[in-house]
Amino acid sequence: MSRDLDHATNHSGRMILSTGNVELVKSVYTAMKAGNILSLFTKLSPDIRVWQTDELPWGGTYVGLMQAKTFFGKVSAHLTPEVTLERFIDSGDYVIGIGRTQGTTKDTGKPFDVPLLHLWEVRGGKVIGLQVFLENAPMLAALTAG
């Protein structure tokens, strides 16, 4: 069974551009790594919704570009992270990035190395959602002094 990922359709016949969605998400990581905020925000929908558990100091739900900027700013205020993606899973309107985040915490100086999963939602060539999952216990331990 052959399938052209650039022009695949889902079960309801709706056109999906999966390969393009993976490439879009990869370009978001490239922009973040380069610190190119302008490039990053051109890839996000004005209505983007970002979520991470509120167990972490930067966690919560952030809606819209300004709140997404707040989310990324809070992460940067607490961490000097380096994200390494080991795998992307292409699921149509969703792209899953699996990897690790490593670095140090700014308040304690402790290192961290935790697995992560990013669930990206893409529509119309823009990221409309990001859910961030990581192993909370080791991250919280790195954030805690002592």
53 touches 136 (CB < 8 A): yes
The pLDDT, as a whole number, for residue 11 is: 52
Please say if the pLDDT value at position 125 is more than 60.
Answer: yes
Average predicted confidence (pLDDT) for the chain: 90
The pLDDT, as a whole number, for residue 19 is: 75
- For position 135, which CATH number holds? 3.10.450.50
Q: What is the reported pTM?
A: 0.85
| pLDDT tens by residue, 47-64 | 999 999 999 999 999 999
Rounded mean pLDDT, 106-114: 96
Query: How many domains is the chain partitioned into structurally?
Result: 1
Q: Judging by DSSP bridges, how do beta strands 44-52 and 111-123 pair with one another?
A: unpaired
Residue 134 is part of which domain span? Answer: 5-143
